[in-house]
Amino acid sequence: MSKEIPYKIYLEEHEIPKQWYNLRADMKNKPAPLIHPGTREPLTAEQMEPIFCKELVRQELDETTPMIDIPQPIQDFYKMYRPAPLIHATFLEKALDTPAKIYYKFEGNNTSGSHKLNSAIAQAYYAKAQGLKGVTTETGAGQWGTALSMACAFFDLDCLVYMVKVSYEQKPFRREVMRTYGANVTPSPSMDTEVGRKINAEHPGTTGSLGCAISEAVEAATGKEGYRYVLGSVLNQVLLHQSIIGLETHTACKKYDIRPDIIVGCAGGGSNLGGLIAPFMGEKLRGEADVRFIAVEPASCPSFTRGRYVYDFADTGQVCPMAKMYTLGHDFIPSPNHAGGLRYHGMSPVLSQLYADGLLEAKSYEQSAVFEAATLFARTEGTLPAPESSHAIKGAIDEALKCKETGEEKTIVFGLTGTGYFDMVAYQKYNDGAMTDYVPTDEDLAKGFASIPQ
Amino acid sequence: MSKEIPYKIYLEEHEIPKQWYNLRADMKNKPAPLIHPGTREPLTAEQMEPIFCKELVRQELDETTPMIDIPQPIQDFYKMYRPAPLIHATFLEKALDTPAKIYYKFEGNNTSGSHKLNSAIAQAYYAKAQGLKGVTTETGAGQWGTALSMACAFFDLDCLVYMVKVSYEQKPFRREVMRTYGANVTPSPSMDTEVGRKINAEHPGTTGSLGCAISEAVEAATGKEGYRYVLGSVLNQVLLHQSIIGLETHTACKKYDIRPDIIVGCAGGGSNLGGLIAPFMGEKLRGEADVRFIAVEPASCPSFTRGRYVYDFADTGQVCPMAKMYTLGHDFIPSPNHAGGLRYHGMSPVLSQLYADGLLEAKSYEQSAVFEAATLFARTEGTLPAPESSHAIKGAIDEALKCKETGEEKTIVFGLTGTGYFDMVAYQKYNDGAMTDYVPTDEDLAKGFASIPQ
């Protein structure tokens, strides 16, 4: 059934998946449940529903249903920017002079500039279906906020975004994209919420953090009639929606008889990596196929490679439930020279369990090496990648260079989650030779770990 | 042969055109030749070759060969970002509640963010094939400069970009994209060229213009061993390369039995419009089909709708040949509140001739109406459009609304040339309600016309 493989594999519209895949159904060791910080008991649906939409709570807790139908309005929206191409990186292969075959799944062909839209549209749909007025969320670099504002425009929902203050000021263009889609964007910490006022009082002049913006968004949702909070990563429901990345990749691989030996993805909260590897990991769990999975994270925010697998708060303000995950402590903030995303202190509970079980590898890179890989990729494959995605590029390049040494013709697939068009300040630093690296010392990490509740 | 039309029509890789279409071969009234400003005689190949690459000169002067082979390395590069989808704008149709069918050819799925790459890669290829070291060019908003820097990275050519100073300062991100691809970007007017020094001396503190940057780039090319000048619009060769837009559109229409009644494109120098309409205009000229063609331009830079069809200089510094075209005079500069692109004083000689012959219509819009259309488009069809492209959106919407009045089910195709990710300053103005309109008075235009040589 092997056919000639085009440079870019676009599935047909009717081949876009109509169901998401719930990897947890195939996991023997299920991810640990979210728990209530007071009682330390697993959260019930009733406890979660004031924060999250009802159907999303159901998905969050569902560990047994392997395939979940994608509602038709979400499928309709997916058609606007999906299928995403699986691209054979022949120009990069040539530049590396490697016998390896490199493919990448490109999720950046939409205005949000990333895969985040896959879950944003699902979460907006369920909010609308539940009759809500709007949703609240946080955003750091702005990809998730942009994706959510696009989804809310589509379903005519109010969209309140708490944007980390430093990004709000340094990335006014992301902010304007969100406003163009009708979102209301507030710099965080703000004076609109109790937690925001508290953080402002305790840390005057703070430029904010993702954990703090999450706290504000949750408070805003629970304090408003007809609003719920939505989150772009980490949660099981998000990985479920993002499985569409892996399902399309899997279909394309089957169609052209491409058999991945290694799948590489960047990992911040884990939404892209979890989605990309899902069906392949399912095969591995069911003993049907074997693939090496590699999570790549920044050396400056090394939750997998140097974090602890324990229960921790999802947010700085401690208004969220606790999750068992690889974490650097909810007070951990990467050093100020950190340019790219992937700055969350924790990691998806699903991926955390897989990593703890030895089913997933992880490695970390310093940012100047990541931007070097990004620049090589841009010049050979054409697309200017997001700094986040460039971690996966670097991971894939290193595996391809190993193949060059050994002469092995391995097939490497990586996730190109998005484009870097709103990250040019970081590129400028790199172009000017002014980018620096910083790997946290054990003392730095100890401060973060000290915030983990005992 | 009618099949169900998907939301996005992607041709197969093997359906990407292997030849460009030279519309001039089918024109009874050929476009007027470029002339030497001194002798007023048509330029010969020998006179053009110190400025332009040899093969490009041949293409510039070729009025008779209808189909021209696309060299394999250019075809290989086209595969990186082509085919570009023809998209059925069902969400926009629904929002307008129109019986019209609206399709758009989306050329923005690449890092240059526009169709400019189609000609950049061709021009870089011919420069490389001729054994040159590098090329020089100008850029305003930065789409063309970005496209050329990507193409030069691909063929390992030196790329010198003169960027209009006001854009260089206000659009540092575009500049950084070019630098990431290895281009050397200089704000214009610079002190590197004679013409730059002259303009700086005569207009201290000037923030530059496109016509002035062209003069600098031409001087830089002719003064350097192994360099040539390349231009992203206006020229016949550029329209030839851009015919790939129309050829793909034509193939997609044939494949799904879509019969356009109206084709709409924005018009600055004319490269996108000329490329999009080429095969359809060819059919019209050969009497095989009839379509209405509409060029849409900004009311603040109305070369078609208020310009004169005469010989004028292509650039402010008068170092370029003269072209017969609709022009506002080479000294014309749109008023400072003008936010989008499409600010060139002249128009492609090919399109100018077609317009003079009544084969093409033109209309103009003020910018706040254009941004209103852009916002509606973003919220319904998902993609945030370039301000340039949004002129075509506005034109298409107006035709669709006419259909709503009359009940006609016309088929409208428009060109969505690119994305607006680097144009958020303009969107911010619109979002803040601070965007103003200015239509030049007859007195304003008279000043520009005064610069046209007699």
| Chain A nearest-CA residue for B75 | A7
Q: Find where tokens 């939301």 sit.
A: B7
Candidates A72, A424, A425: best to mutate against B (most CBs of B within 10 A) is: A424
Spatial separation of the C-alpha atoms in residues B289 and B295, rounded to whole Å: 19
**Closest in B91, B181, B384 to A379, CB measured:** B181
Positive or negative: CA dihedral B86, B88, B91, B94: positive
B316 reaches A (C-beta below 8 A): no
pLDDT of residue A193: 95
- Chain A within 8 Å of B72 (Cβ-Cβ)? no
Among candidates A17, A19, A9, which has minimal Cα distance to A79? A17
Handedness of CA A435, A436, A439, A444 (dihedral sign): negative
Predicted local distance difference test score (pLDDT) of residue B1: 45
Within an 8 Å CB–CB cutoff, is residue A442 touching chain B? no
Q: For residues A421 and B146, is the Cβ–Cβ distance under 8 A?
A: no
CB contact under 8 A, B382 and A7: no
- Do the Cβ atoms of B154 and A382 come within 8 Å? yes
Q: CATH number of the domain at B81-113+236-449, out of 1.10.10.60, 3.40.50.1100, 3.40.50.1580, 3.40.50.280?
A: 3.40.50.1100
Residue B246 predicted with pLDDT over 60: yes
pLDDT at B403: 98
Which residue in the set B81, B173, B431 is minimally distant from A176, CB to CB?
Answer: B431
Binary contact (A109, B110; C-beta < 8 A): no
Q: Does B378 reach chain A within 8 Å, measured CB to CB?
A: yes
**Averaged over B139-157, what is the pLDDT?**
95
Identify residue A104 by its one-letter amino acid code: Y
Q: What are phi and psi of A217, to 5 degrees?
A: -65, -40
Q: Does A184 touch chain B (CB under 8 A)?
A: no
Q: Is the ipTM of this complex over 0.90?
A: yes
**Residue position matching structure tokens 């920017």:** A81
Which residue does chain B place closest to A107, by CA atoms? B109
Q: Calculate mean pLDDT across residues B267-293.
A: 97
Give the angle subtended at the CA of A118 by the CAs of A112 and A122, to the nearest 5°.
115
Looking at every residue in chain A, the average pLDDT score rounds to: 95
Per-residue pLDDT at A152 exceeds 60 = yes
pLDDT tens string B201-214:
999 988 888 888 99
**CA-based nearest residue in chain B for residue A182:** B379
**Averaged pLDDT of chain B:** 95
Measured between beta carbons, the chain A residues lying within 8 angstroms of B91 are 80, 154
For B282-316, the pLDDT digits (tens) are: 999 999 999 999 999 999 999 999 999 999 998 87
Q: Is the pLDDT of residue B198 over 70?
A: yes
pLDDT value at position A316?
A: 79
Residue A106 has which token pair? 């490109």
Helix locations, B139-234, DSSP H: 143-155, 165-170, 172-180, 194-202, 210-222
CB crowding A439-449: b at 16 or more within 10 Å, else e = ebeeebbeebb
Which residue is associated with the tokens 């890989």? A373
CB contact (8 A) between residue A382 and residue B110: yes
Nearest to B384 among A6, A180, A427 (CB): A180
Please state the rounded mean pLDDT for residues A398-402. Answer: 98
pLDDT at B320: 86
- With beta carbons under 8 A apart, name residues in chain A contacting B158: none
Q: B354, B342, B356: which is closest to B280 by C-alpha? A: B354
Residue A249: pLDDT band with limits 50, 70, 90: very high
- Candidates A256, A370, A384: best to mutate against B (most CBs of B within 10 A) is A384
Q: Is B336 strand, coil or helix?
A: coil
- pLDDT at residue A1 greater than cutoff 70: no
Q: Would you say residue A443 has pLDDT above 50?
A: yes
194-213 of B, contacting A, C-beta below 8 A:
none
pLDDT value for B2: 53
Q: Is the pLDDT of residue B340 over 80?
A: no
Query: What confidence score (pLDDT) does residue B22 get?
Result: 98
> Using a CB-CB distance cutoff of 8 angstroms, which residues of chain A are in contact with residue B177?
384, 421, 424, 427
Q: How confident is the model at residue A211 (pLDDT cuts 50, 70, 90)?
A: confident
Is B173 part of the contact surface with chain A (CB cutoff 8 Å)?
Answer: yes
β-pairing, B411-416 with B134-139? unpaired
* Number of Cβ atoms within 10 Å of the Cβ of A7: 17
Spatial separation of the C-alpha atoms in residues B342 and B334, rounded to whole Å: 10
Residue A21's SS3 state is strand
* Distance in angstroms (rounded) separating the CA atoms of residues B422 and B438: 23
In terms of Cα–Cα distance, which of A386, A357, A151 is closest to A268?
A386
Task: Report pLDDT digits (tens) over B434-446.
Answer: 999 999 999 999 9
The whole-angstrom separation of Cα B394 and Cα A426 is 35
The pair of structure tokens assigned to A339 is 């340019």
| Min Cα separation B282/chain A (Å) | 31
Q: If you measure CA to CA, which chain B residue comes closest to A14?
A: B6
Task: Please report the pLDDT score of residue B49 as a whole number.
Answer: 95
How far apart are alpha carbons B125 and A108 in whole angstroms?
A: 27
Chain A positions in Cβ-Cβ contact with residue B377 (cut-off 8 Å): none
- Give tens-digit pLDDT for B66-95: 999 999 999 999 999 999 999 999 999 999
The residues pairing with A309 across neighbouring beta strands, listed in sequence order, are A326
Q: Does A170 touch chain B (CB under 8 A)?
A: no
- Could you give the CA distance from residue A162 to residue A177 in angstroms, rounded to a whole number? 14
Residue A425 neighbours by CB distance under 10 Å: 13
Q: Of A190-194, A383-387, B318-322, B360-364, which gets the smallest average pLDDT?
A: B318-322
Q: Between chains, do B382 and A80 touch, taking CB under 8 Å as contact?
A: yes
Strand (E) or helix (H) holding B103: strand B101-106
pLDDT over threshold 70, residue A20 = yes
CATH 3.40.50.1100-classified regions of chain B? 19-67+116-229, 81-113+236-449
Q: B209-234 burial string, b = 16+ CB within 10 Å, else e?
A: bbbbbbbbbbbbbeeeeebbbbbbbb
Predicted local distance difference test score (pLDDT) of residue A2: 54
Contact at CB, B424 and A375, closer than 8 angstroms:
no
**Mean pLDDT of all residues in A154-175:** 92
Whether A257 contacts chain B with CB within 8 A: no
Give all strands of the β-sheet with B227-229 in edge-to-edge order: B184-188, B158-164, B134-139, B227-229
Query: Which residues of B fall within a CB distance of 8 Å from A182?
Result: 379
Contacts of A111 in chain B (CB under 8 A): 378, 382-384, 419, 421
What are A184's strand-pairing partners?
A: A160
Both tokens of residue A30?
A: 């299920």
Indicate the residue type of A306: R
Residue B256 touches partner A, C-beta closer than 8 Å: no
Mind telling me how many Å the CA of A157 is from chain B's nearest CA?
12
Nearest chain B alpha carbon to A384: B111
- Which of helix, strand or coil describes residue A337? coil
List helix spans (H) across A130-193. Answer: 143-155, 165-170, 172-180
Q: Does A75 score more than 90 pLDDT?
A: yes
Sheet containing A411-416: order of strands: A8-9, A86-88, A101-106, A411-416, A262-266, A292-298, A361-365
Chain B 94-133, residues with CB within 8 Å of chain A CB atoms: 109-111, 113
Joined tokens for residue B328: 């506002």
B-chain residue closest to A7, CA distance: B79
Task: Please list the alpha-helical segments (H only) found in A31-83.
Answer: 45-48, 54-61, 72-81
B19-67+116-229 folds as Rossmann fold (3.40.50)
Nearest beta carbon to residue A176 from set B10, B381, B428: B428
The rounded Cα B83 to chain-centroid distance in angstroms is: 19
pLDDT at res. A327: 97
Could you give the C-alpha distances from A436 to A216, A315, A342, B299, in angstroms and in order?
Answer: 32, 28, 17, 48
Choose the mutation target among A75, A175, A177 for the interface with B, i.e. most B CBs under 10 Å: A177
Pairwise CB contact (< 8 Å): A110 & B382: yes
pLDDT > 60? residue A96: yes
Count of beta carbons in the 10 Å neighbourhood of residue B172: 12
Chain B: closest CA distance from residue A180 (Å) = 6
A81 touches chain B (CB under 8 A): yes
- Decide if A159 contacts A182 (C-beta within 8 A): yes
